[in-house]
Amino acid sequence: MNALVSILTPTYNTEKFIKSTIESAQNQTYTNWEMILVDDASTDNTVAIIEKFVQKDSRIKLFKLPENRGNGFARNAALEKATGKYIAYLDADDLWFSEKLEKQIQFLKTNNLHFTFSFYDSVNEEGNDLNRRVESPNPLTYKQLFFCNYVGNLTAIYDVDYFGKIILETSQKRQDWRIWLTILKQIKVAMPVPESLAFYRIRKDSISSSKFKLIKHNFGVYREFHGYNFAFAVLLMLRFLFTQLVIKPRYIKNI
């Protein structure tokens, strides 16, 4: 029997998107999964929409936080509830291609891997395809990841039996990048599935839409996660910015 995949989905005021996101999980050709949604005290109709799915599909599980604690806390809470061999991430506004899980699990088995990710396409807030594909170095080394997060959160899968559950401090931003750094520090090199398997939704109010916030949070990775002093962290950020502005665009393709 195929191993269970735990899909972690924190939610907060995503009534516009959550239906499509859940349906993209339900449409998977790989069917042995559980979807753990942790709602971070939404004030819109997000919970009501999810509850309709819960009533019809036992694989979908909803947990509600009594107060807003932030995306990182909700994601960790979902991870604690997970029972699968594999952990996969699907944020509440993103979408998967129908063969996403099947192809990645097969890729892991065929190549004897414990972690993988894939390329992904971009859509705007209304779900319109932007005809832009985000790829990555193949293979991806720890050094490359150190200066740029090439791993799309919505594409990553890791083996809990090998790594354990990777739980990081919820107060820290760029939690996803910190998880991949933790993994690659151990395995040194990662191989992506060399095709697009998901749609990343670019939203106007997201952290990724604010360059200033991104710089601040990425700087925090070097200061807090790696523990470098201020001056050295500044030097690392200069290299990071060079990578973001000069090297990463080479991996963004018009399709």
CATH number of the domain at 107, please.
3.90.550.10
Q: Answer yes or no: is 198 within a domain.
A: yes
pLDDT tens for each residue of 99-134: 999 999 999 999 999 999 999 999 999 999 999 999
**Where in the sequence is the domain holding 45, given as residue range(s)?**
5-204
Q: Answer yes or no: is 21 within a domain.
A: yes
Question: Which residue intervals of the chain are DSSP H helices?
Answer: 18-26, 46-56, 71-81, 100-110, 142-146, 160-163, 175-187, 211-220, 230-242
Q: What is the pLDDT of residue 210?
A: 56
Q: Answer yes or no: is 35 within a domain.
A: yes
- 240 close to 148: Cβ distance less than 8 angstroms: yes
- Band (pLDDT 50/70/90 cuts) for residue 92 is very high
Average model confidence (pLDDT) across the chain: 95
- Band (pLDDT 50/70/90 cuts) for residue 170 is low
pLDDT tens for each residue of 29-54: 999 999 999 999 999 999 999 999 99
Radius of gyration of the chain (CA): 18
- The answer, yes or no, to whether residue 249 has pLDDT greater than 90, is yes
Rounded to whole angstroms, how far apart are CA atoms 184 and 168? 15
- 121 close to 154: Cβ distance less than 8 angstroms: no
Q: Answer yes or no: is 160 within a domain.
A: yes
Q: Answer yes or no: is 78 within a domain.
A: yes
Phi, psi values for residue 12, rounded to 5°: -160, 110
Q: Which tokens in the block code for residue 135?
A: 């790829």
- Band (pLDDT 50/70/90 cuts) for residue 1 is confident
Q: Which stretch of DSSP H or E encloses residue 165?
A: none
- The answer, yes or no, to whether residue 211 has pLDDT greater than 70, is no
Count of structural domains within the chain: 1
- Band (pLDDT 50/70/90 cuts) for residue 76 is very high
Phi, psi values for residue 29, rounded to 5°: -75, -20
Longest CA–CA span in the chain (Å) reads: 55
Q: Which tokens in the block code for residue 182?
A: 């933790």
Phi, psi values for residue 33, rounded to 5°: -145, 160
Query: Based on the number of CB atoms within 10 Å of its own CB, is 55 exposed (0-12), middle (13-18) or buried (19 or more)?
Result: exposed
Q: Answer yes or no: is 247 within a domain.
A: no
Q: Answer yes or no: is 254 within a domain.
A: no
Beta bridge partners of 198: 96
Q: What is the pLDDT of residue 206?
A: 58
pLDDT tens for each residue of 179-205: 999 999 999 999 999 999 999 999 876
Q: What is the pLDDT of residue 214?
A: 79
Nearest to 180 by CA among 209, 229, 137, 238: 137
Q: Answer yes or no: is 143 within a domain.
A: yes
74: how many CB neighbours lie within 10 A of its CB?
25
Q: What is the pLDDT of residue 79?
A: 97
